[in-house]
Amino acid sequence: MSPFKVLISDKLDTRGAEILQAAADVDNQPGITPDELLQVIGAYDALVVRGRTKVTAAVIEAGKNLKVVGRAGVGVDNIDLAAAQSGSVTVVNSPTATTIAVAEQTLAMMLGLIRHLPRADHAMKSGRWEKKALVGTELAGKVLGVIGLGNIGAAVAQRAAAFGMQIIAFDPFFSGDEIRQRGAEPVELPEIYARADLITLHVPLTPKTRNLIGGQAFAQMKRGVRLVCTARGGVIDETALLSALEAGQVAGAALDVFAEEPPGLTALVAHPQVIAAPHLGAQTAEAQIRAAVDIAGEVLAALKDEPLRWKIV
């Protein structure tokens, strides 16, 4: 019998589950409710989640034997990091597994936005040929402002450069030289707002980034700017974005994430200049396999007190 007990509380690709099962006693309960989780978590040494499960302070406190929480993916905003740290619970993620998938989703949404592809498809399926009404624009020669130049932001910058875009970026965690090495011109946020034809966001949701893009930011942007967000809901003030769209300050937005998910049919989701997707950034078969395999290895390393690649706290 293994000395470790692991609970998988969200859907995880079978490759990751098999790695865990080879070294631990694993319970796979992807539909477990918050109340059920609180009742059973005390029996486990490790908890593996994706985005659905909320690892609250109460869960951490109830996890008397809990040593590690593993997030299969990048964002850890569904985990109370302060509670984990105070409870001596290690938190790890798999930050590189979904880089390609999210970068490609960003470019797909960007292209769909500037060429009106969802509207064109809807018109065709409704029997309408609206060629003249759907004149688009080109990426080539446009300025792309990247806010957050980590793994995903840098991957987006690399791909956008191949379209002939000029890349400018802001990231307080990298020096100017590091930003240049990642393929972008380093600038401050006001310069992104003033110069960018398109802006893409690749930052985590933290107290500092919540509503980072709000009314004041929109007022500083070039009129007719387009916005893409595949990062986290809450980084954009959705009320302010709707106002900016209605005023014509923002020509269009492509949103894969929302402050509340699912958001329902809000005025923002229904807006004709908005492309809305149900948080599809990491939803490729390849990314899900990588995330599962990476987090399984990292969780087992934490349980065995081995070196960690992606420790958050």
Q: Which two tokens stand for residue 77?
A: 């905003």
Cross-sheet strand order for the sheet of 5-8:
25-28, 5-8, 46-49, 68-71, 90-93
Is 261 a catalytic site residue?
yes
Catalytic residue from among 232, 238, 290, 298: 232
Is 279 a catalytic site residue?
yes
Is 232 a catalytic site residue?
yes
- How many CA atoms lie within 13 Å of 253's alpha carbon, on the beta-carbon side? 27
What distance separates the 2 farthest-apart alpha carbons in the chain?
69
Alpha-carbon separation of residue 130 from 96, 110, 153 (angstroms): 41, 21, 34
Provide the 8-state DSSP code for 163: T
Residues in the chain: 313
Catalytic residue from among 15, 115, 210, 279: 279
Q: Which residues, 6+ apart, have CB-to-CB distance to 211 below 8 Å?
A: 234, 235, 236, 237, 240
d(CA 151, CA 153): 6
CA neighbor of 51 nearest in space, from 84, 75, 29, 26? 75
Q: Which two tokens stand for residue 304?
A: 């065995």
CA dihedral over 141, 150, 203, 220, signed as positive or negative = negative
Catalytic residue from among 18, 130, 261, 306: 261
Hey, how many other C-beta atoms are within 10 angstroms of the C-beta on 118? 17
Where does residue 248 fall: left (phi above 0), alpha (psi -120 to 50 degrees), or beta otherwise?
left
Q: Which helix (H) or strand (E) holds 69?
A: strand 68-71
Q: Which two tokens stand for residue 226?
A: 């387009």
Specify whether the CB–CB gap between 307 and 297 falls below 8 A: no
Q: Which residues are catalytic?
A: 232, 261, 279
